[in-house]
Chain A
Amino acid sequence: DSGVTQTPKHLITATGQRVTLRCSPRSGDLSVYWYQQSLDQGLQFLIQYYNGEERAKGNILERFSAQQFPDLHSELNLSSLELGDSALYFCASSEGGRDTEAFFGQGTRLTVV
């Protein structure tokens, strides 16, 4: 168990809908990363937060947004969902330094039908 908790584990929704994925980081970790993993694809970096502030942004679509709350949990919001958004979404957390270990949650499997 990495200590990073993601909910829900599975999510099935229709095209055009909006969903929210939740992540609770390891105790003491200030940084949260979101990654997308599609079939046969690697880990695509979406966005990073550190202590409530956005720190880095990757190839995140405008339909997607995220935030980190004062208690350090994070939410990833996906809207106007398309079939191609079906993927595994992972959250990882770390202490926040440039060279600190990142620990991953078990992921949320999103299926858009």
Chain B
Amino acid sequence: GENVEQHPSTLSVQEGDSAVIKCTYSDSASNYFPWYKQELGKGPQLIIDIRSNVGEKKDQRIAVTLNKTAKHFSLHITETQPEDSAVYFCAAAGGSYIPTFGRGTSLIVHP
């Protein structure tokens, strides 16, 4: 089955800095890669996704990149704000019907 590795597990940055979270996957059949943000006490919320036919996608301060050859994808957050503090999960899907999640990254943005 699919295996998704996510790093780092914790990321601490100053407000205004950039943050990068990286994930690797194992199933070459995976073709859909969503990212979720989970705030304390809430369910994961889909914030951006990318499909295998593109290498990069941007939405305001967040962007995702995908390298299918190397089987890795990354989330980039620029100009971080305290409200960006949350746990971020990457996932891979398409090889099977089940989205497989990474273990999560706790992002802390210090004012």
Contacts and interface: CB of A to CB of B under 8 A. Distances in A.
Interface in B28-69: 31-32, 34, 36, 42-46, 49, 51
A18 B43 CA distance: 24
Chain B interface, DSSP helix/strand/loop, else mixed: loop
Interface of A: 2, 4, 6, 31, 33, 41-43, 45, 48, 50, 55-56, 58, 90, 96, 98-107
B45 A33 contact: no
A103 B98 contact: no
B98 A58 contact: yes
A105 B46 CA distance: 11
Chain A interface, DSSP helix/strand/loop, else mixed: loop
A106 B43 contact: yes
Contacts, number: 61
Contacts of B46: 101-104
Contact of A33 (B31, B34, B98, B102): B98
Contact of A105 (B43, B49, B96, B97): B43
Contact of B101 (A4, A43, A96, A103): A43
5 contacts: A41-B103, A42-B101, A43-B44, A98-B97, A99-B32
A2 B47 CA distance: 12
A43 B98 contact: no
A48 B98 contact: yes
User: Which of B32, B51, B94, B99 has the largest count of A CB atoms less than 10 A from its CB?
Assistant: B99
A105 B41 CA distance: 11
